[in-house]
Amino acid sequence: MAGSRMRSPLGRAIGLGSAKEGVDHWWAQRITALALVPLVVWFVISVVGLASAGADLPMLAAWVGYPLPAVLLILLVVATFYHGALGLQVVIEDWVAVEGLRLGLIITVKLAAILLAVLGIFAVVKISFTG
């Protein structure tokens, strides 16, 4: 690597680069993207099927009452908000130059993603157990 001559031995050993967080963000974005590929295909087919059949509440509750749809919905919610928060973070880092505002927005996005994901998970669990 041509760039390795420019780095201190300690910096190279820690391996976190100038952003101080290594490739964790990049990897997490790719892993959640990979997880979302089958989940989104399954979700779109399921929702179009539900909508075509009327999508009333008893039907939805019966569907979410099965273990597999419930678990896949939870995984979809987790992967969606994880992936979305990572993506929005990059958008904010690129486009918001004021440091305080940038940090505030990133924290807001992450907390909102956690709130929405937990809301979604709880909703799925409640529908699944109570109908």
Partner 1 sequence: MTSDRRPLSPHLQIYRWQLTSALSILHRFSGIALSAGSLLLVWWLVAAATGPRSYAGVQHFLGSWLGRILLFGWSVALYYHFCNGLRHLWWDSGRGLELPQVYAGGWMVLGATVVLTVVTWIIAIAHWSA
Summarize as ranges the residues that interact with partner 1 (CB under 8 A): 30, 33-34, 36-37, 40, 44, 48, 51-53, 55, 57, 60-61, 64, 73, 77, 80-81, 84, 87-88, 91, 97, 116, 119-120, 122-124, 126-127
**Three-class SS of residue 1?**
coil
Q: How far is the CB of 16 from partner 1 (least distance, A)?
A: 20
- Whole-angstrom Cα distance, residue 83 to residue 117? 11
- Whole-angstrom Cα distance, residue 78 to residue 72? 10
| Pick 9 or 58: Cβ nearer partner 1 | 58
Q: How far is the CB of 107 from partner 1 (least distance, A)?
A: 16
| Pick 11 or 49: Cβ nearer partner 1 | 49
Direct distance between the N- and C-terminal alpha carbons of the chain, in angstroms, rounded to an integer: 58
What is the Rg, in whole angstroms, of the alpha carbon atoms belonging to the chain?
Answer: 20
Q: Encoding tokens for residue 22?
A: 């290594």
Positive or negative CA dihedral for 57, 59, 65, 67?
negative
Q: Encoding tokens for residue 83?
A: 């992936």
| Pick 13 or 51: Cβ nearer partner 1 | 51
| Pick 7 or 112: Cβ nearer partner 1 | 112
Q: How far is the CB of 126 from partner 1 (least distance, A)?
A: 4
Q: How far is the CB of 87 from partner 1 (least distance, A)?
A: 5
